[in-house]
Every structure is written in structure tokens, then in C-alpha cells.
Structure 1
Amino acid sequence: MILGVDTGNKMIKTDHFIFHSGIKVKEQRILNGEEGICYKGVNYIENSQRITYLQDKTADERYYILTLLGIAKELEREEGNVRTKGIIPITLLVGLPPGDYGRQKRRFQEYFYRQGKTVHFLYKNRPYQITYTDVKVYMQAYSAYLLIANRLRLVEYSKVLIIDIGGFTVDYLMVRYGVVQPTQIDSIPEGIITLYKRINAGIRQHFNLLLDETDIDNILFKRNTQYPEKVLRRTFEIAKDYLVELLGTFLELGIDIRTTVTVFVGGGSILLTDLIEDVWVRYNSQYFIVDDPQANVKGFKKQYLAELADSAET
């Protein structure tokens, strides 16, 4: 079974599920049907309070558990279509930000693979056994780019800038005629979590209100909220200032957005879709927004299947 998991700083994404990058230990056992996982005798349940940013996600077991939880959700969904008795072989597809890919790829692969040993766990108090037959690590943002590259004929352009606005980081890379430019790949620590903090501070100072991240998401997505118009207006003003500053950073990095085709990916880009359209008039260049939070996961699978096809031909 081939399963992709995008281990984001804010959200975990699989083929069919999106949930917060947060877990907490539960002292009591997981009940039948309860959304939780038991691994090595410890019970974990989902938590909307995300994990504090980790530069190296292999530093502890939390992203391993979160990934296992995503796999468990997919296995339950596929009940009846896969063999759930005995050991289930899984090819795991994961990704790293462009700035971390080169130096962390091998460690990230080993973090999950662990010599292919059988992994025993309970999900919703039901037993599962899996083994990772292979773990493939791909470059986030580029995976999302590949998902739309052919449809939008992006390989025909001399410069395509991919901007992935994620939870903690904004990842970017330049692609020239379909080829990644290794000298123009990096991550900026100015992701959407930075925006949340700015908005929270600004609203608290002006209106003595405390907004959590879900409140801010609802405002920026223009969902119905109980907040007065002046709070909504100030939230959008802060978000627009953040976006203007972020895009201005690329000129300092030697990238003139006016001369590139720009592709926005990631949950943060989706959140800021309307503001990107508003701000973009000053650049007068072509841009696209990949309106799919699971684009990286789908891109992982597309790359893996392409590799399999290439291997079959040789």
C-alpha cells in the first residue's frame, strides 16, 4: 500500500485527511471507536494545540506518532480494500522543505524506516501491524509544482518561482524550464504562524480581544463571525501588510517577481488567496494559486509512480 503524509508545522495532510499537528498523552486507555492511538503502551489523542516548531522533526517521537496516526486513518478508510489482518506492507512517501531537503533527507528517511521492523499499534482500540517496505523523501513545494506543471505548461517558462506559505516557514525554489535551480532554494521563517502572532497582538492592543488561530482563519476565509467590522478590517490590514513585506523579501534575495511566473502553494497561500489577488496588481506578472492543501501529498505519489514507471522501462 502506498501512503503519502505531509508533516506540516501546522497541519498533517494525507490523501484523504487533514488534522492539526498536535497530540497529547491520555492517561486512560483509548476506548473503542475513540479517535486515538496507542503506541508502545502510551495512549495519544489528537490535540488542536499544534506542536511548537521543530527545526528537526526527528528530534523526538511526536512526528512519528502523528504520521502513524495519519496512516491509521487511511487504513481504517480502506477497510475491506486492503488486508488488515497480519502485517500490512506500506511504502511511505514523505517530504521536507526545500531548505532542509539536502541535509535532512537521509535522517528523515531513517526516522520512519527503522530497519523495516514491524510496527504494532492500536487505533480506536483496534490492533494494527504495519511494516515500512520503503520510505521515500521528496521536496515539498516542488511536489506541488509537479502536480500542475503539465496542465499549465510551466516547463515552457524560463523562470517559475514556487512559494509555499506553510505554518512556520515560507519555502521557495526557482525552476527553469522544469529544472530546479539549486542556488535558489531556501526557507524563510515567516510562515502563517508569524501572521497569527501579528494579528493577535494588533487586535489585543487595539480592541482588548484575544483571537486564537481558528478565529483568525475564519475571519480571513470570510466566514460568519461575531466580531465587529472594525476588528475584521484591522485583521485584513495586518494580513495585507504581512503579505506585502513577505513578497518584498524576494527582491532582497535577488528574485524579481515581476520577471517570473509565480506559483503559490500551501495552506497559507489558500488562506491569503483574496489578499494575494489584491496585492498582485503592483507586480503585473502571471501567478497561480494551487487551491489544494493536499497538493504536496498528491505530488509525492505522482513522483513515486513516475519512478516506478521509469524503473519498469529500464
Structure 2
Amino acid sequence: MIIGIDHGYYAIKTRQVSFPSGIIGYDYEPYTMQNVLQYQGKYYVCGTGRQTLVKNKTSNDNYYLLTLAAIAEEIKHRKAERKTEVILAVGLPLSSFGREKQGFREYLLRKEQPVRFLYESELYEITIKDVKLFPRYSALALHPEYLKNEPSVLLVDIGGWTVDLMRLDNAVPNAATCRSLELGVIRCIDETAEQVRRNTGLSVTETQIERVLRRESCSMAEEARRIIQENGRKYIERILSAVTESGFDLRAVPTVFMGGGSAILKRHVTAQDAICRPVFIEDVHANATGYERIVEQMWTR
């Protein structure tokens, strides 16, 4: 079974599942077994809140444990056998791909096989046969039409912690153009929550802020809503300004916006931003699905 996983700072995504990257460990059984991973004698509630930011995801076991939870969730949604062999298809930013590739592969592909754990009280026995790593622009594997007949396309991946930039020339990534900006959605949400707290005294949640930024329904004081929308627009202006400062001309090159923040950007971009031809891939599962598609194509060649 091929399972693609997008290990985001903000959320873990598979082809069918997305949950926050938070994880909390317990020595004793928690009050509910929903989203609970049992591994090596401990209990882990997965998808709760947000974990402390770590620049190197291999510095602790959190992302490995979240990977096991993601595998279990994907198997459950596929109604597949809980004892199976798995090939993991995962990604890294192109700007750090060469530096982190081997370490992240070893982090996920551990010697102790098969891996036995319980998830939501169900026993899983997973043999991870291999880990395939790809640069984090694989969502384009699902949308080759965005590159067709375009000599140059700019990719802007708005993630939880970083905004990754890369230009593709004749559908081939230009490694010299890779940039990674620490302007991800987490920063926008944290700054917005603080602004609302200062101006209104209200402590709005991350989920509320996300919904308002996406212009979805949410019961909230009108003043708080106004502040969130204003901050959302300012955040988009910062991203567009940073892209320009990084040497890319949005007026000249078609731009594909993807990642969790692309839906926010789509709802705040105006004609005055003068983006040549913006394309938005709002599907948060797109990278994980793209990783799987590439591995499947490798197998059928």
C-alpha cells in the first residue's frame, strides 16, 4: 500500500485525512480513546492543538508518532487490512531537500519492523518497506495543465510556518530560484489573535480565525471579525511584497498558489495586486495525493 503524507508544521495530511500536528503524551489511559495512539507503553492524543515549533522535525519522536496515526487513519478510511506492508511517500521543501532527505528517510524507516501499535484501540501491524521522498511541489503532478504551454511558472506554497517559493522553467524546477520565507499561516493567526485580544478583550480561537479569513460562517462580534479581515489583508500584502523582494515579478509570470494558506490568499487578492495569472490549489490533500501518484507512476514504468 502506498500512503502519501504531507508533514506540515500546522497539519498532517494524507490523501483523505487532515488533522492538526499537535500531540500530547500520557502515561495513563486518557478519558477517551478517540484519536489516541498507543505505542511502546504510552498513550498519545493526536491532532490536539499545535506542538511547539521545531525547525528540525527529526529532533524528537513527535512526527514519527503522528506518521503512525496518519497511516492508521488512512488505512481506516480505505477500509484496508490493519496488518500490511506500506511504502511511505513524503515530501520536503526544495530549499532544504538535499540537506534533509537522508535524515528524514532514516527517521521514518526504522530498523524495528514491523511496527506494532494500537490506534483507537485497534491493533495495527505495519511493515514500512520503503520511504520515497519528493520535493514539496508534487501537487502539480495532479495538475500538469497549469504548466502546459507556459515557459515559466512561479510556485508559492503557503504552509504553516514557511512560504516556499520556486520557479519552474519549461516544467522543470529551477533550484537556484528556491526561497523559504518564515511567513506561514501560523504567524498570521497568532498575530491576529493578539490584535483581537488587545482591541476587544476577546480570546478568539485559531479555528474561528481560520473560518473568518476564509470568509466562512462564524458567530463572532463584528469588531473582532473586522480586525481579522484587516489582518488577513495585511498578511497577504506582506507575502506579495516578500515575493517581489525575493526577485520574482508577479506581474510577469503566472503564479500557482498552494498549501493551507492558498484559500486565505484567494479570498483577499484583488485586481490591484496585479498578479499576472493566479491559480489556486486549495486542496490541502494535494501534495500527499501527488506523492502517491508519482510513486504509482514509478511502479508502472
| Bigger Cα displacement from structure 2, 227-236 vs 103-112 | 227-236
Q: 1:134 aligns with which of 120, 130, 135?
A: 130
Residue identity (%): 32
Residues 1:143 and 2:138 aligned together: yes
| Bigger Cα displacement from structure 2, 23-32 vs 114-123 | 23-32
Q: 2:177 aligns with which of 184, 200, 205?
A: 184
Unaligned regions of 5+ residues in structure 2, if any? none
Contact 2:179–2:246 (CA<8 Å) still a contact in 1? no
Alignment partner, residue 125 of structure 1: 121
What pairs up with 1:1-314 in 2 under 5 angstroms? 1-29=1-29, 34-79=34-79, 81-82=80-81, 84-85=82-83, 88-115=84-111, 117-140=113-136, 142-149=137-144, 151-152=145-146, 154-276=147-269, 278=270, 280-310=271-301
Q: Alpha carbons of 1:176 and 1:283: their partners in 2 closer, same or farther (altered >3 Å)?
A: same
Find the residue that maps to 1:258 and give its secondary structure: coil
Q: Distance in 2 between matches of 1:127 and 1:226?
A: 40
Contact 1:31–1:124 (CA<8 Å) still a contact in 2? no
Contact 2:35–2:47 (CA<8 Å) still a contact in 1? no
Find the residue that maps to 1:171 and give its secondary structure: strand
Instruction: Quote how far apart the aligned CAs of 1:282 are.
Output: 2.7
What does the per-residue CA deviation read over 1:148-199, in whole Å, with 9 as the maximum and x for residues that have no partner? 12x33x1421211111111111111110110100101121111001111221
Q: Distance in 1 between matches of 2:30 and 2:273?
A: 54
Q: Distance in 1 between matches of 2:190 and 2:75?
A: 36
Q: TM-score of the superposition, structure 2-length normalised?
A: 0.94
More helix by share: 1
Aligned residues: 301
Q: Distance in 2 between matches of 1:272 and 1:182?
A: 25
Instruction: Quote how far apart the aligned CAs of 1:33 are.
Output: 5.9
Instruction: Quote how far apart the aligned CAs of 1:271 are.
Output: 2.8
Contact 1:30–1:125 (CA<8 Å) still a contact in 2? no
Q: Alpha carbons of 1:298 and 1:25: their partners in 2 closer, same or farther (altered >3 Å)?
A: same
Q: Alpha carbons of 1:89 and 1:284: their partners in 2 closer, same or farther (altered >3 Å)?
A: closer
Instruction: Quote how far apart the aligned CAs of 1:47 are.
Output: 4.2
Find the residue that maps to 1:226 and give its secondary structure: coil
Find the residue that maps to 2:267 and give its secondary structure: helix
Cα RMSD after superposing both structures: 1.8
Q: Alpha carbons of 1:116 and 1:283: their partners in 2 closer, same or farther (altered >3 Å)?
A: farther
Unaligned regions of 5+ residues in structure 1, if any? none
Find the residue that maps to 1:77 and give its secondary structure: helix
Q: Distance in 1 between matches of 2:219 and 2:115?
A: 46
Whichever residue aligns with residue 250 of structure 2, its letter is: I
Q: TM-score of the superposition, structure 1-length normalised?
A: 0.90
Whichever residue aligns with residue 86 of structure 2, its letter is: I
Instruction: Quote how far apart the aligned CAs of 1:250 are.
Output: 1.7
Q: Distance in 2 between matches of 1:118 and 1:160?
A: 42
Contact 2:15–2:286 (CA<8 Å) still a contact in 1? no
